Amino acid sequence: MRYFITGTAGFIGFHLARRLLEDGHEVLGFDGMTPYYSLRLKEARNAGLAQFPAFRPVIGMLEDKSLLDKSVEDFKPDVLIHLAAQAGVRYSLENPKAYLDSNLIGSWNILEIARNYGVGHLMLASTSSVYGANPDIPFRETDRADEPLTFYAATKKATELMAHSYAHLYKLPITGFRFFTVYGPWGRPDMALFKFVKAMIEDREIEIYGEGKMSRDFTYIDDLVNSIIDLSKVYPGEDNRVAGIDTLSHQAPFRVVNIGGGQPSGLIDFVETIERIMGKPAKRKMLPMQKGDVPRTFASPDLLVALTGRKPEIGLEEGVKAFVQWYLDHRHEID
């Protein structure tokens, strides 16, 4: 099959594209190569994908609709997976316009392109941040998600709503998936695991927010990729409606699905896992919760399991060990 993926120089897009290429599919990767974090890391990911003859890279911004149009028209994808976005909860407090341009205007361009070129299945990345500080656990897709705590979360929720309207108006099959704290090799330098491991190797303090009382439903990257590929084969429609727990719209071929294992870990447990694997204690600096942070995330995987037959299962010990080994092997290439 032919997959058009936005954000292939990013953490998740890189892993997804590589898996699909390994499985014999064709991938056109669209990425803006923005300097939000290390371009060396993004270039290294792109170089890994370039080893596959079936990979076609396009460098461009989501706001450049003419380039998106030309890329899709030439490639004629079966599935369009939209992962590119301005990421980062905390950065959205500093530069909200970047989120407006990429996450709203860029996502609207993707919706327009999907309808104009008759893409068979459009898949959109959302986030657990849309749940805000939801007091009900685990977070279920049928819960209200109308109280975002950051502009980043608001743009992701807005993208879901825009997508529903397009699914209804143009009968465009769309699946949105909500990620829960994804981690693993080739991860983002602004994420906790990358920052903690780097600081410990350099014998610096690690900053633990919320006095370490927060918890997260960590999702290892390989599990996430499995779930995205599984869901890409489940076109939203009445033939696969799941009674009682589904978000499948009654007006459109549209649904949202959590991708998380439903096994949250405390932040201190996370730090202790890193310490155990690295064989040294961290220098801990305890800090209050940052503006926009939520105390916990906790996915209900029930809908994901009903649709695909499985959920994320890789444990923190195995996942952190894989990241640490990758970082030790590659740090001189990407730092």
Catalytic residues: 152
Neighbours of 128 (CB within 10 A): 26
The tokens for 291 are 């503006």
CA distances from 285 to 107, 193, 206, 208, 293 (A): 38, 15, 6, 6, 17
How far is C-alpha 275 from the chain's CA centre?
Answer: 26
Rounded distance, CA 124 to CA 103, Å?
Answer: 11
Strand blocks (E) in the chain? 2-6, 26-31, 55-59, 79-82, 121-127, 174-179, 182-183, 205-208, 215-216, 219-220, 254-259, 265-266, 283-286
Structure-token pair, residue 332? 């001189």
Sign of the alpha-carbon torsion through 31, 33, 36, 38: positive
* Rounded CA separation 143/67 (Å): 37
39-50 vs 316-334: helix crossing angle, rounded to 10: 100
- CA 90 to CA 258: how far, in whole Å? 22
DSSP label at 100? I
CA distances to 62, 93, 291 from 33, in Å: 11, 22, 28
Looking at residue 22, its amino acid is E
Cα separation of 114 and 77, whole Å?
Answer: 10
